[in-house]
Amino acid sequence: MSTAARKIRLLMLLRRNGVTDVGVLRAMELVPREIFVPATFHDQAYEDTALPIGHGQTISQPLVVGLMSQALELNDRLKVLEVGTGSGYQAAVLSKIVRRVYTVERHRPLLAEAEHRFRTLRLHNITARLADGMKGWPEAAPFERILVTAGGGSEPPPDLVGQLALGGIMVIPLGPDRREQKVVRFRKTEDGLEREALWPVRFVPLLPDIAGEPARTTVPEE
């Protein structure tokens, strides 16, 4: 089966399983997922499965990427913070829909690889940073949307809540452990956070920065 046929099959599967947002589906059609996985997994790039990318991390299953992106209620005017760059695939999908993506990663090798992919694909509206994702990106706040692609705890990190704009949406996996996580959507109102549990999921844990690793920002070409 050709790559094009595999991609069409995957998009049809996503539609059947609840990804109905036209913008999200179009973005996932445009972003070549095979670039974001190791060469040994290229033949599985358009299967609906998570794949290892090294350093104990994975690229999320396409259905999860589609549903979480859809849950953010995206449009082309938004500035989005992503916590957990990983391979860079989720940031690339977001970049096809929104005005600007800020993405934070704590593993230097993963970030370097993701940055290389962004340059290769000429995704100039992504700004990447090596830092503690739990602290967000205060210099660029507030954000209309925040997406966290690692899980943990029963509440979102306070710094991220503080950087979410009034009326903004945060989507984050929460739960006491990896076996009991759910994707939760928060809306920030004048009265506080409105919470909505969406669906069960399993993500790697959200961890603080590695000791001794300074923050580093890569600003894209304009």
pTM for the model stands at: 0.90
C-beta separation of 165 from 142 below 8 A: yes
The domain containing residue 14 runs over which residues?
Answer: 3-218
Exactly one of 60, 69, 87, 95 is catalytic; which is it?
60
202 — phi, psi (to 5°)?
-130, 120
Quick one: 50 exposed, middle or buried, by C-beta within 10 A (0-12, 13-18, 19+)?
Answer: middle
SS3 202: coil
* 95 is annotated as an active-site residue: no
Sign of CA dihedral 45, 40, 183, 112: negative
Number of domains in the chain: 1
pLDDT tens digits along 38-80? 999 999 999 999 999 988 889 999 999 999 999 999 999 999 9
Beta partners for residue 192, in sequence order: 189
What CATH number does residue 36 fall under?
3.40.50.150
134-179 residue pLDDT tens: 999 999 999 999 999 887 678 999 999 999 999 999 999 998 766 7
